[in-house]
Amino acid sequence: MYDAIVVGARCAGSPTALLLARKGYRVLLVDRARFPSDTMSTHYIHHHGVGRLESWGLLDKLKALNCPPIRKFTIDFGEFALAGVPPPVNGIEAGYCPRRLLLDKMLVDAAVGAGAELREDFTVQDVVFDADRVVGILGRAAGGPVIAEKARIVIGADGMHSRVARAVNAREYWRRPTLECAYYTYWSNVPIDGFEVYRSNRRMVFAAPTNDGLACIGVAWPIAELAAYRANVEASYLATIDQARGLAERVRAGRREVQFVGTAKLPNYYRRPFGPGWALVGDAGFHKDPTTASGISDAFRDAELLATAIDAGLSGARDPARALAEYERARNRETRALYKLYTTHISSLEPLMPEFMEYVRALRGNQPAIDRLLGVLVGAVPVGAVVSTRNMVFTMGVRGVGRALRTRLSRAVSFIARERTPPSIVPARVRAEYNRIAPMFLLGSALLFPHRARLIVREVIPRLGLKGGETVLDVGCGAGHNFPHLLAAIGSQGNLIGVDLAENMLALARRRVEANGWRNVALVLGNANDLDFLQPQSIDVAFYSLSFAILPDRLAALDTVARALKPGGRLVVIDWQPFSGWWRVMNPLIYLSMSGLPSSNTALFKRAPESAALVTQVFPNSEYREHYAGSLYVVIAASAPLGLQASLNEPVHAPR
């Protein structure tokens, strides 16, 4: 019986095994590969990752691998380039770009040296359950019989295709699709000055020195152009290199030493990283686009966080579930801002935001500011300290802001003309407008939407099968119009959480709660896209009533709610849309009547079917219905396993 079994012995698994073994635990470390062996990787270790190697006593071993330190960063935007040296992180002034053939062997040897038992050429076929708790693994060495090994906890460090994650059905959230394809190889006789990045014409090139005088040089294309790239990998690669001024000449004078390595499978996701008897670390629990070059460094951090949490649980110092939940929260806190920045704006290789381009243009000649921007990349400077409206406007000046606005307006006009898409949502503007109309909201809602209350009482709540004692989240609760109907269903033993981003609206809801003496209602002031206070699998029903369409990132909101719903939990979205059929003649009058409401609401009113379609994509087990001549739609969805009444087993009706 082991204290811990770690499945996967590379840059997440070996450090986890190392740290647990050093704490005195009996650890089994297994991997289907033998070491040394290579694997696809971005190679780079950021300053904070190097700092962890130093704290583990492994930095000197890394330096002994003949891998040069990287202090300088250069980012070439096509028309100009920025170069500098990021600030140190806890005294660490350089990163490294080692080949995984050497790095992983170093980490494995360190884990074994700390007392972990290593089994190479060992394939895990399944995990072993006792009721709903993982208690071990089934696997076999090459040519050997299938055997079972038991442990107090099984740790999946086996990458984005993690067998452990599949076996425990680890829920994914904040998922984004693959944005790019990337290919790299190694060159000799190509001098590289630190870490070089070239970005222009929807292409990206990166180059860094690695072990034994070689250079790791890679390229990235948008995922939509994958077929064109693969039609001739070498020609596409070299054509991309040719766009990198200054680098192309060096590469043409060098020698390619190995075949190209690349992939188009680069999804972006978080997974719930723990459960009864199991945990996930590294890419098994969190994977992002390689543009950040932070996979190895993040794996080191998460190994440290996870080992600390497991030690707290196994030693009895803390409740194991609470300790592992804190591990998940800490991981997400450390990574969320950069993840959103890259998966939303940068990794798609589309033209960068005009505001950002004017900002970096204004940095030229200001070396301390350039170094701070580069510090974001290595974890020395928080994203918000640099990429903030106040800092960017101050740096750009009046002329820069004017140029950015003109560029954005030009792009917006061409985009709207092409796609006919309404403006984006600005949470601050929505909050201000709802605060403004709050005094009139009670009367206005009663006049404009009396049918909504009837719909909730007569159809939605009965179809949800709400039971006494359940927990309901009312997102965009406003003045609390839904509270009486929801509380009548869940009773005094249930719990209702109301969330709204407008202080004045929430004040109306609080007045309603106090007037009725409801003691099981909690009110939260906040953005519906940031529900980090919710624990995984903590709510039974998430309720959006006339609020979903105005969320700034509807898909992210759905991912967050999916994570918070219990198995069998339910989601409800009720929202308005234009009339259908001959009632369409009423739409101009409706638009006019909405002129006093938040403008974002008015714009998105016209594309409500898209909002409904997003729900059915994230929650395939859902049903869509229209009411009142198509002016109001309802989507009711269930998370697995199915928890709705039998009527939802009927075929799903897709939104129009």
Q: What is the pLDDT of residues 366-394, one digit of tens each?
A: 899 899 989 987 878 887 677 665 565 65
Question: What residue has token string 């008897």?
Answer: 277
Residue 32 CA neighbour count, 13 Å, CB half: 10
- For 576: left if phi > 0, alpha if psi spans -120 to 50, otherwise beta; the answer is beta
pTM of the model: 0.66
Half-sphere exposure of 368 (CA within 13 A, CB side): 1
Residue ranges of E strands in 66-146: 73-76, 81-84, 117-119, 122-130, 133-141
pLDDT > 70: what percent of the chain? 79
Pairing label, strands 215-222, 203-209 = antiparallel
Q: How far is CA 23 from CA 51, 53, 314, 652, in A?
A: 20, 17, 11, 53
Quick one: pLDDT at residue 438?
61
Length in residues, the chain: 656
CA angle 31, 37, 43 (to 5 degrees): 105
* pLDDT over threshold 90, residue 361: no
Whether 518 contacts 487, CB under 8 Å: yes
On the question of pLDDT at 444 being above 90, the answer is: no
Q: Where are the domains of the chain?
A: 2-43+99-175+268-346, 180-263, 427-649
- pLDDT tens for each residue of 543-586: 988 788 777 777 778 878 888 888 889 999 887 666 666 555 55
Task: State pLDDT tens for residues 43-52.
Answer: 999 999 999 9
Spatial CA neighbour of 289 closest among 354, 216, 231, 341: 341
Q: How far apart are CA 67 and CA 211, in angstroms?
A: 4
Are 583 and 610 within 8 A, CB to CB?
A: no
155's tokens: 């740790």
pLDDT digits (tens, 9 = 90+) for 116-138: 999 999 999 999 999 999 999 99
What's the pLDDT band for 415 if we cut at 50, 70, 90?
very low
Read off the amino acid at residue 248. A
We find that the CATH architecture of domain 2-43+99-175+268-346 is 3-Layer(bba) Sandwich (3.50)
CATH for 180-263, options being 3.40.50.2300, 3.30.70.60, 3.30.70.360, 3.30.9.100: 3.30.9.100
Q: Which residues of 370-383 are buried (b: 16+ CB within 10 A; e: fewer)?
A: bbbbbbbbbbbbeb
CATH number of 427-649: 3.40.50.150
CB 408 within 8 A of CB 354: yes
How do beta strands 172-176 and 180-188 pair?
A: unpaired
CB atoms within 10 A of CB 419: 8
Rounded Cα gap, residues 310 and 15, in angstroms: 14
Q: Name the least confident of 9-13, 520-524, 630-634.
A: 630-634
Q: How far apart are CA 372 and CA 392, in angstroms?
A: 13
In the numeric block, the tokens 């909201």 are attached to: 441
Residue 459: how many CA atoms within 13 Å on its side-chain side?
Answer: 17
Tell me what pLDDT residue 647 has: 32
Q: Mean pLDDT throughout 164-192?
A: 93
d(CA 545, CA 562): 17
Sign of the torsion formed by the C-alpha atoms of 155, 157, 163 and 165: positive
pLDDT at 598 over 50: no
pLDDT at 424: 47
Cα separation, 352 vs 59, in Å, equals: 36
Contacts of 405 (CB under 8 A, 6+ apart): 354
Contact 600, 437 (CB under 8 A): no
**Cβ-contact 492, 560 below 8 angstroms:** no
Q: What are phi and psi of 413, to 5 degrees?
A: -60, -45
Query: Tell me: the pLDDT tens digits for 5-32?
Result: 999 999 999 999 999 999 999 999 999 9
Rg of the chain taking only CA atoms, in angstroms: 27
Confidence of residue 351 (pLDDT cuts 50, 70, 90): confident
CA atoms within 13 A on the CB side of 343: 22
Greater pLDDT, 410 or 488: 488
Distance, in Å, from the CA atom of 15 to the CA atom of 377, rounded to the nearest integer, reads 23
Position 446 scores a pLDDT of: 44
Q: Which of 89-98, 178-187, 295-304, 596-605 has the lowest mean pLDDT?
A: 596-605
* CA distance linking residue 291 with residue 179, whole number of Å: 10
Work out the mean pLDDT of the chain and round it to a whole number.
83
Q: Is residue 151 over pLDDT 80?
A: yes
Determine the residue type at 462. P
